[in-house]
Amino acid sequence: MTHQDLAQEFRDKEPGRYRGGVVVIFNNHVAGWMSELRDPQSWEPGCFAIDEEGNEWVAVGGNPYDGAKRWEPVSQK
């Protein structure tokens, strides 16, 4: 299952609750949701964030203890 599929499945479970924002995926599991892409230091490097349009970012830099340094685009629709 792709990151896109996981994010959509998560949103479909509770229609309307997770509108907008991004679904965060880590190790092929949903790790959470945020109303907007922010706070990379709150996430471990290697997390992916996917918005409703299918745009995808990855958390990079930093380390597992201190969190990532920034979000970088992976694919933009």
Tens digit of pLDDT per residue, the chain (77 long)? 899 999 999 999 988 898 899 999 999 999 999 999 999 999 999 999 999 999 999 999 999 999 999 999 997 76
Longest distance between any two alpha carbons in the chain, whole Å: 34
Q: What values do phi and psi take at 26, rounded to 5?
A: -140, 130
Domain encompassing residue 10: 3-75
Count of structural domains within the chain: 1
Q: Which two tokens stand for residue 31?
A: 């790790």
